[in-house]
């Protein structure tokens, strides 16, 4: 079972999340999403637990619990349309749109006023 954990303290590491969730059963993997530029966590992560019953118990008991002064959000991770885990988006990648394809009102006005 894949579990989403949000609003985690920015100093939290994967080890911290594993310690919290291991009290509810076996934890297969833990992933805290890290900002590539600042190397700080983005405030959310994912935990994978093999037993659904233990995972649901962890969600019920940990959702809204205080961790280092912050109330964390714990829920079942959402799947995409194909039933696969959603991956974090790469916001830093450049767009494939070239500047010539971008039309602004200013460019359109200049083109029409020259006629």
Task: Tell me whether residue 112 is in a domain.
Answer: no
What residue numbers bound the domain in which 41 lies?
2-76
At residue 79, the pLDDT reads: 76
Task: Tell me whether residue 35 is in a domain.
Answer: yes
Q: Which residues pair with 75 in a beta bridge?
A: 4
Strand runs (DSSP E) across the chain, as ranges?
2-6, 29-34, 41-48, 66-67, 70-71, 73-76
Task: Tell me whether residue 99 is in a domain.
Answer: no
Task: Tell me whether residue 12 is in a domain.
Answer: yes
Task: Tell me whether residue 95 is in a domain.
Answer: no
Task: Tell me whether residue 115 is in a domain.
Answer: no
Tens of pLDDT, residue by residue over 13-63, are 999 999 999 999 999 999 999 998 999 999 999 999 999 999 999 999 999
Task: Tell me whether residue 27 is in a domain.
Answer: yes
pTM, 2 dp: 0.69
The CATH number of whichever domain residue 37 belongs to comes to 3.30.70.330
Can you tell me the distance from the alpha carbon of 36 to that of 89, in angstroms, rounded to the nearest whole number?
Answer: 12
Task: Tell me whether residue 109 is in a domain.
Answer: no
Helix (H) or strand (E) holding 14: helix 14-22
At residue 86, the pLDDT reads: 58
- Our count of domains for the chain comes to 1
């Amino acid at each position: 079972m894949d579990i989403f954990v949000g609003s985690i303290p920015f100093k939290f590491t994967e080890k911290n999340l594993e310690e919290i969730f291991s009290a509810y059963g076996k934890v297969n993997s833990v992933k805290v999403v890290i900002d590539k530029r600042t190397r700080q966590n983005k405030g959310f992560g994912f935990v994978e637990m093999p037993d659904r019953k233990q995972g649901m118990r962890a969600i019920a008991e940990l959702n809204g619990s205080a961790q280092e002064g912050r109330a964390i959000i714990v829920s079942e991770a959402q799947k995409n349309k194909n039933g696969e885990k959603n991956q974090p988006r790469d916001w830093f990648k450049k767009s494939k749109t070239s500047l010539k394809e971008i039309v602004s009102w200013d460019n359109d006005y200049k083109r029409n006023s020259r006629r």
